[in-house]
Amino acid sequence: RGSAVSDFDRDGRWDLVVGRHGRMTRLYRNRSGKRGVQVGLVGADGNQAGVGARIGLRGGGVMGPIRFISGGSGDGGQDTVRPILYCDQPIDELWVKWPNGVETLTSVPASVISILVGEKGEIVEIVR
């Protein structure tokens, strides 16, 4: 048995896949959850995923939940290095505290579902 959470259909919502020994794997698409923005980091050589960074979205002066980018979650598991983040207000910017302590703010364009940001706060890739 095993399960994984990811945005399998790229709609800005977490979906769930469940595998069971000897049975068909099932994908449960999230059709009613709040949409978010998938955030990925491009860090320095040797830490290209930005493991150790803290990230959060701001909107209307309000900070959404802050996530920690980790390199493992125990027992052979691995959390995603590109989580989906939410904010209750329309999103203005992405805050990142990089593993080296440097903080960056990146303006997030409207209607973005995925953004990839470099160490200087520059947008590397964007998907609408």
DSSP string, 23-85: S--EEE--SSSPP-EEEEEE--TT-TT-TT-EEEEEETTEE---EE--S--STT----SS-EE
Q: Which helix (H) or strand (E) holds 16?
A: strand 15-19
Reported pTM: 0.80
Asked if residue 90 has pLDDT above 70, the reply is yes
Q: What residue has token string 């980091």?
A: 41
End-to-end CA distance of the chain: 35
Please tell me the least confidently modeled range out of 2-16, 49-63, 89-103: 2-16
- Give the percent of the chain with pLDDT over 70: 94
